[in-house]
Structure 1
Amino acid sequence: MASSSHRRRSRPERRGLRAPAIAVGAVAAVALVVSLVVAFRPDGGTAAAGADKVKPVAGAATNASPTAAVSPSSSPSPSPTSSAAGPSPSTKPSSAAPAKKTSVRASATPAPRKPSSTGGSLAGRIRPGTTYQGVATSYDIGNGDGACSYGPTSDVMTAAMNTADYETSKACGAYVSVTSGGKSITVRITNECPAPCQVGQLDLSQQAFAKLAPLSAGRIPITWTLLSPAVSDTVSIRYKTGSTQYWCGIQAIGHRNPLARLEVRTGGGWQSLARTGYNYFLSEQGAGCGGALRLTDIYGEQLTVEGIAVRANVVQPTRVQFARH
């Protein structure tokens, strides 16, 4: 029994002595097979590394940087570009959409401003789209001159506006449609009708009044509205008698729409001139006399006029006119 027990213990020891030799033989055999396979491959084993690329597991972090071009749409915000004016402000764009860019267009002269969408936002008492009620009377206009200082004219379809609606010559040059008894006429405001003319009243030329009613009627009820008519002429500029580079009065003639402002260009920018009751804009200290002018109508449209010299009491035409409304 003792020898049987000894044999069981000694047999594992003998297998353990043969194990290294068997392992060495197995490794040598595998190496031989591998070397033969590699040797007989068409590429000679040089592409083995590329064939054994390991695909990354989804969600795993990788350190390799892709070399393929990235589509612009794949980036939520564009990279800022350098500017000659200086570095861009350090701002973080919204993740929802890239920040919008704005462009500024430089111009030698101010671009005309589009008419106001509110319709006569710079108008005074006389506003577009409004119907006024009043009465009409008539007077002999003589040579056609009046408080607006336009001078003599052959145009007989004119009227004098009551003082309240004349509004310190703001009504000068306005075209209005006058209706009475089913008849309508168009007249241009060239004069002022002082008291006893009432608010809403127009003192028409006799020729204009006669188209609505006999002169013997004396006084008739009317309604009237502001117009922006078709005109063939452009705006003209006139410097007042006595104007020089040191003091000047400036007047605009032939504007389609009522004039809201007249400005002169100075070293400090555009300067608005005060309007008188006789329809001249005065530059008491001579600022801008003989320089560029900017006209603004009641709709907000602006016209820039250059090249008008100080020539007292001379009507000088321009090439500009306000838009029709």
Structure 2
Amino acid sequence: MKATRQAARRRRHRFTVATGTAVALITVGALVCLTLSLRSGHEADAGHSAGATVAGSRGTPTPARKAPAGSGSPTAARSPGGTASPAATADATGAPARPSAPATTRGTSSAASAAGRIRPGVGYRGVATTYDTGTGDGACSFGPTDDRMTAAMNHTDYETSKACGAYVLVRAAGGASVTVRITNECPLPCAPGQLDLSAAAFAELADPSAGRIPVTWKLLSPAGPGTLSVRYKTGSSRYWCALQVLGHRNPVARLELRTSSGGWRQLPRTEYNYFLAENGVGCGGTVRITDIYGERLTVGEAAVRPDTVQATRLQFARH
């Protein structure tokens, strides 16, 4: 009997040990599986994060390119009827400035481009017509000239004589081109974009019998001009004066006279291409001229000598 009870105890002990071992093995296996699962998930997450970082660095936006200095935002090109139409743009090339005379100084303005309707680097569409230029004089009051490669700018783009003296490259549909200088105004009904060319200039583009042809044109900053000059209008004095700039490479945007207090007085522009000082303040003193690119040229002590061209040794830089 005693032997039977001992045998039963031994069987229960083996069962307990076996059961405990099985439970332990199951527990260990579960822990191993859980660990492997967590590690796999962690590695997957780490791989995803690394991939996102690389993608982010490769996809970093590149800063937008800035438009070239001085291009500014383009004015809409005009068709013969005044409807806006696209036109190609062109870049400009700079060149060193000419030396100045002792009585003249040069300065560069940090101001933005002062261009009006006719803007650098912008192409315009319109029509070319032709007229009899006579002696070559016109609304710009430059006086007679032997230069026959000239044109009259339409009333809108003439912009109160702001176009006067501008050099313009005109191109016909067939590819022929000619460079002209603006010396006159083509009054209404000349449409925006229209150029009224001298007979010689028109003949460079088409047979004169055509009379009217579609063209594109753009502003130039040519190498040709020498130095610029200033001229007081007939009747000018220290009490009233009107002053003009001649021979400038780039269109003139502003003219100022130095006052007795040392400041600068900007003069209003007339349609006949003179800058007017009705009360005479600054007449006969230092003159400051600014082109549409913002460059300033200072001419020292331009005496009031009516209808006399006073040369300088200055010229605006090319663009």
Give the TM interval when normalised to the shorter protein: 0.5 to 0.7
Q: Is the 8 A contact 1:115 1:299 kept in 2?
A: no
| Correspondent of 1:262 among 233, 246, 255 | 255
**Which residue of structure 1 lines up, in the alignment, with residue 236 of structure 2?**
243
* Contact 1:274–1:282 (8 Å) recurs in 2: yes
Corresponding position of 1:189: 182
- What is the CA distance between 1:158 and its match in structure 2? 0.3
Distance 1:115 1:155, change over 3 A: farther
Counterpart Cα distance in 1 of 2:136 and 2:302:
26
| Offset at residue 306 of structure 1 (A) | 1.1
Question: 1:141 aligned to 2:136?
Answer: no
Gaps of 5+ in 2: 1-102
Q: 1:113 aligns with which of 105, 108, 112?
A: 108
Among candidates 158, 166, 170, match of residue 158 of structure 2: 166
- Within 1, Cα distance between the matches of 2:204 and 2:143? 24
Q: Flag as ranges the 4+ runs of structure 1 deviating above 2 A.
A: 108-111
Give 2:309's aligned amino acid.
V
Please say which structure displays the higher CA radius of gyration: 1
Q: Which has the higher contact order (CA 8 A, sep 6+)?
A: 2
1:53 corresponding residue in structure 2: none
Provide, for residues 260-310 of structure 1, a one-character-per-residue CA deviation record: whole Å limited to 9, x for no partner: 000000023000000000000000000111000000000000000013211
Name the residue aligned to 1:152: 144
Q: 1:133 to 1:273 in 2, by over 3 A?
A: same
Secondary structure, counterpart of 2:271 in structure 1: coil
Matched, 1:284 2:266: no
More helix by share: 2
> Structure 2 CA distance, aligned partners of 1:153 and 1:299?
27
Which residue in 2 is equivalent to 1:271? 265
Among 233, 242, 246, the residue aligned to 2:226: 233
Q: Cα 1:263–1:314, aligned 2, differ >3 Å: closer, same or farther?
A: same
Tell me which residue corresponds to 2:121. 129
The Cα of 1:154 is off from its aligned counterpart by: 0.4
TM-score, with length taken from structure 2: 0.66
SS in 1 for 2:141: coil
Name the aligned partner's letter for residue 292 of structure 1: T
* Secondary structure class of the residue paired with 2:108: coil
* CA RMSD of superposed structures (Å): 1.5
- In the TM superposition, residue 231 of structure 1 has moved relative to its aligned partner by 2.2
Q: Which residues of 2 match residues 1-325 of structure 1 at below 5 A?
A: 112-113=107-108, 121-180=113-172, 181-268=174-261, 269-325=263-319
3-state SS of 2:191 partner: coil
AA in 2 matched with 1:227? L
CA distance in 1, matches of 2:222, 2:285: 30
Distance 1:112 1:324 in 2: 15
Q: Distance in 2 between matches of 1:262 and 1:220?
A: 36
Cα pair distance change 1:109/1:242, threshold 3 Å = closer
* Alpha-carbon distance, 1:169 to partner: 0.1
